[in-house]
Every structure is written in structure tokens, then in C-alpha cells.
Chain A
Amino acid sequence: DAGVTQSPTHLIKTRGQHVTLRCSPISGHKSVSWYQQVLGQGPQFIFQYYEKEERGRGNFPDRFSARQFPNYSSELNVNALLLGDSALYLCASSRNARGRGQGVREKLFFGSGTQLSVL
């Protein structure tokens, strides 16, 4: 079975532009989470989606948005890019939503990430 897949693997944008990152979860997984990892730091939570609904949002500005499709794949959109948005963006999937009775024992499976550089 394929793992979590993310596209593109690398992306270069300039300030003010918009970017869309894509994620396909492991087959059978209904929950997708997005994390931002700045160089030298641990990943920071951005969003969680389950069954196409937003289940959690981290401390990120409204320039960041996401959605989940009926096939459980997900997109992360970032508008008006800033230099500080340069980071590795990670997508993670799990079978169930976090915070549910089953979800607390859920492992998160991560994709290889999209490296975004904003010039």
C-alpha cells in the first residue's frame, strides 16, 4: 500500500504569490493533518480535517486555509506568501480523527513533505 503522498516535493515562489500543496492519505485513512516545520524546529500544527470538516486549527494567520475532498485527499493553500513561510510542509494521515475515543491511540503517518522556498 502507498504511504502518504505529497506534491510537489519542492517549490519556489516569490513574496506575495499564492501556493497550493496537495496530500493523499493512506488508503482507508479519513483524517489529514498539516504541519509546518521551519529549519531547526519541530513541526507546528496548522490544520486537521476529518470527513471533510475542519477539526482543529493551529495559531496561523488567515492566509493559511485548507480543505479535504470526498476521497479524503487534502489541499493546503497559502496566500500572500511571506519570506517567513519558507519551510517544510508536512501532511499526516490517520484512520480516525484525533480526540475521538479511538483516535487517542492513533498513530500519525507522515508524508515526505513539500519544501517551500519563498524568495
Chain B
Amino acid sequence: KQEVTQIPAALSVPEGENLVLNCSFTDSAIYNLQWFRQDPGKGLTSLLLIQSSQREQTSGRLNASLDKSSGRSTLYIAASQPGDSATYLCAPDGGNTPLVFGKGTRLSVIA
């Protein structure tokens, strides 16, 4: 059974800092991994999807890496802004099973 852990659970940083969010998962037999953003009381917005054959995926100030064999993924946010404040969720995808989510990292970027 896939289990997903996200560290830290919460993070508060001043504007402009670069930061790293961590995701670990127990079952490395995945096809891809998605990072999502969730604003309070809202739905999930897909940020990045990394295929298992890829090591990294970039979108603007976001960069996600995947080390499938060690069961780890990181989301790097460069030059953080107050608008980045949200909860970030990772979800490894085993293909034949539903997405399993971590509890997320709650990020606050202080102006």
C-alpha cells in the first residue's frame, strides 16, 4: 500500500527566498508523480507532472525532481512570492491504483 509523507508540514519564509518541499513515498513502482497546489477551501491545481523516466520537470519558477528508486521527490520554488502561499500536495501515480496524496506542506510567504 502506497504511503506518502511530506516534510515539512508547514513552512513560513520571507518573500524572495528559495525553498524546497519534500515528498517521500514507499512504493517505487510508479508511472509518474504529480505536484498540486491547493488554496484554502479550494480544489487542486496541477503544477507539474514528472514521468517515471524523467528526472526533472520545470515550469517557470517551479522545478520538480524525481528519484524513483529512493522514493523521493522535491519541489523547488525560486524567488518565492506572497502569491505562492498555499498548500502543496504530492501524489505518486501507480497507474492501476487511485492517486494517493500526502497531507501536504502548508506554505506561507511573508511580504
Contact = CB atoms under 8 A, between A and B. Distances in A.
Interface in A30-54: 33, 40-45, 48
A109 interface: yes
A103 B46 CA distance: 16
Nearest to A57: B98
A90 interface: yes
Contacts of A108: 34, 46, 99
B71 to A, nearest CB: 17
Contact of B89 (A33, A42, A107): A42
Given A105-B31, A105-B32, A108-B34, A43 B44 contact: yes
A113 B51 CA distance: 27
Interface stretch (B12-20, B59-67, B74-82, B101-109): B101-109
Nearest to A9: B41
Interface residues of B, number: 26
Given A90-B43, A105-B51, A107-B34, A33 B95 contact: no
21 contacts: A4-B43, A40-B103, A42-B4, A43-B44, A43-B99, A43-B101, A45-B98, A45-B99, A48-B98, A56-B97, A56-B98, A90-B43, A99-B96, A99-B97, A103-B95, A104-B32, A104-B93, A107-B34, A107-B46, A108-B34, A110-B46
Interface of A: 4, 6, 33, 40-45, 48, 56, 58, 88, 90, 92, 98-99, 103-105, 107-113, 115
List 9 tightest A-B contacts by C-beta distance, closest first: A42-B101, A45-B98, A104-B95, A104-B31, A110-B44, A99-B96, A110-B43, A112-B43, A113-B43
Interface of B: 4, 31-32, 34, 36, 41-46, 49, 51, 89, 91, 93, 95-104
